[in-house]
Amino acid sequence: MTIVVDDAGSGDLLFGVVIGAYRKETDQFTYDVIDVSFYQDLFCEKKYLQEASRIVFNLLKKLKIKPKEEVQICQGSIFDKAVIDLKERYGEDLISKIRVTGEAQRLVEASYLDEIRNLGYEPVDDRESKRAKSFFHMMRWIRANPIRLKLAKTGWPRLKRYKLFKHGKKNKSCSTAVCSKCGKSCAVPFKPDENRAVFCYDCLRKTNSRRKGHPKM
């Protein structure tokens, strides 16, 4: 038995990223989505890598991965953390990175297309071989109604060259800092001030969670 894991949408302007898992022998398929928010303000922290790993493990659980079952995972960088985590859990011999083709690729791609059609967007034909055309087609669709910016991967640094993405909430540049609480290096979407505490994403989230649990004085 073999489970193949692939992604679709990571290079597309619209929506998040679809991650799918397919078992060839039984023709079973399931997928989940990395929310687009991971490609907006959170993009510089690369939290999408951690989210990709979490989703992969959940998909394998849904498929009820069997002992000694091989997992073949797309060689894209989005799965860098997932591959490390999978090897730690299941062993080096059962995890391999491949160039995904065939039915697994088709199903994941179809799932992404379904998701963006649900937004009201109709993709260009043969978009895989017409990446530039697809990008500008998506951008024109967003420009027609700027409220659609919330559906786009606005955290990409390369988007700063386009006026559309300078309106409203501006893209934030990333800086490297040391978390004042845990001492780990982290990326933050602002220029650190040595006179103010800086927190990494995890520590900030824990701090905010505790504050929400206490009544205001």
Q: Which pLDDT tens digit goes with each residue over 16-54? A: 999 999 998 999 999 999 999 999 887 888 899 999 999
Integer Cα distance of 54 and 64 in angstroms: 15
Task: Please give the DSSP secondary-structure letter assigned to residue 175.
Answer: E
Which residue in 198, 139, 150, 148 sits closest to 174, CA to CA? 198
Residue 214 has pLDDT above 50, yes or no: no
What is the per-residue pLDDT across 123-161, written as a single tens digit (0 to 9) for each?
Answer: 998 887 788 899 999 999 999 998 899 999 998 888 888
The identity of residue 133, as a single letter, is K
The identity of residue 97, as a single letter, is K
Integer Cα distance of 29 and 60 in angstroms: 10
Integer Cα distance of 67 and 70 in angstroms: 9
Pairing assessment for the beta strands 70-74 and 2-8 based on DSSP bridges: parallel
Pairing assessment for the beta strands 70-74 and 95-98 based on DSSP bridges: parallel
**Residues 165/177, Cβ–Cβ less than 8 Å:** no
**Residues 28/36, Cβ–Cβ less than 8 Å:** no
**Going by C-beta distance under 8 Å and a sequence separation of 6 or more, which residues neighbour residue 139?**
13, 162, 164
What is the per-residue pLDDT across 62-111, written as a single tens digit (0 to 9) for each?
Answer: 999 999 999 999 999 999 999 999 999 999 999 999 999 999 999 999 99
How would you class 78 by CB atoms within 10 Å of its CB: exposed for 0-12, middle for 13-18, buried for 19 or more?
buried
So where are the chain's domains? 1-172, 175-212
Does the domain at 1-172 match CATH 3.30.420.10? Answer given as yes
Pairing assessment for the beta strands 28-34 and 70-74 based on DSSP bridges: unpaired
How would you class 110 by CB atoms within 10 Å of its CB: exposed for 0-12, middle for 13-18, buried for 19 or more?
middle
Distances (CA, A) of 205 to 119, 202, 208, 210: 30, 5, 5, 9
Structure tokens at 108: 């994941």
- The chain-wide mean pLDDT, for the chain, equals 86
